[in-house]
Copies of this chain bind each other. A is one copy, B any other.
Amino acid sequence: MNTQIDIQQLKQSPVFQDISEKQLESFLEDAPHSLKSYDKHDFVVMQGERCRSLYILYSGKVQAVMTHPDGKELVVEVLEAPVAMAPILLFGTKDKFPVSIIAMEPVEVLIINKDKFLRWMQEDAQLMQNFLRIISDRSVWLTEKISSFALQSLEMRLAHYLYFHSDSPESQSDIAKRLGVARPSLSRVVSGLVEKGVILIEKRKIVVPDPDKLKTLMHGD
């Protein structure tokens, strides 16, 4: 199977950090791989689906979403190309996606044979190290996320979120999904922060004049 992959593009991904172009190129020539396209709103992967390949987001932007039987949903993270999509599943005991992956815009996904990749990784110390760093950092990030859900109020979580996403143009509905709360609940807390003078609303967009004010709210007043 041969597709025209831009090595330069791929090299930007943390998985291939400090891997030479030559190596990457020769690996791709050797390993079976394919490039799949998806339209906006398509499900790239459904929660619970089996996975026995390495998925790399080659272009575009996707959401990782957890859905619960009763309809509630949580947007766990947003991924932008180029980045590995579920590195955990390569080595874990379970091989089912814990989240659904949904295209937020037209998207291309590079699917690479798992066994070939494993072998390559065992030969290339740098690649292995990249991989270990990625999933280790991910674990730390997940642990902190648990802490925020279990121990922090919505106001703290919103402050935290805005502090790190002050520039992004997300709607309040979207932010609500990322924080796992109902939209009116979020709106209420947003109004609260406006009254406190921490944020302002301009043309329906949340503006943060002074991020330091948010910081004081992030760990409890």
Contacts and interface: CB of A to CB of B under 8 A. Distances in A.
Q: How many copies of this chain does the complex contain? A: 2
Nearest to A96: B140
Which of A72, A138, A144, A152 has the most C-beta atoms of chain B within 10 angstroms of its own C-beta? A138
Category for how many chain A residues contact B: 35 or more
A1 interface: no
27 contacts: A66-B146, A66-B147, A66-B150, A68-B147, A68-B151, A69-B219, A73-B151, A74-B146, A74-B150, A74-B151, A76-B146, A88-B136, A88-B139, A90-B132, A92-B137, A92-B140, A93-B133, A93-B137, A98-B144, A131-B132, A132-B132, A135-B139, A139-B139, A139-B142, A142-B145, A145-B146, A146-B149
Which 9 residue pairs across A and B have the least CB separation, nearest first? A92-B136, A150-B180, A142-B142, A91-B132, A149-B149, A91-B136, A88-B139, A98-B143, A68-B151
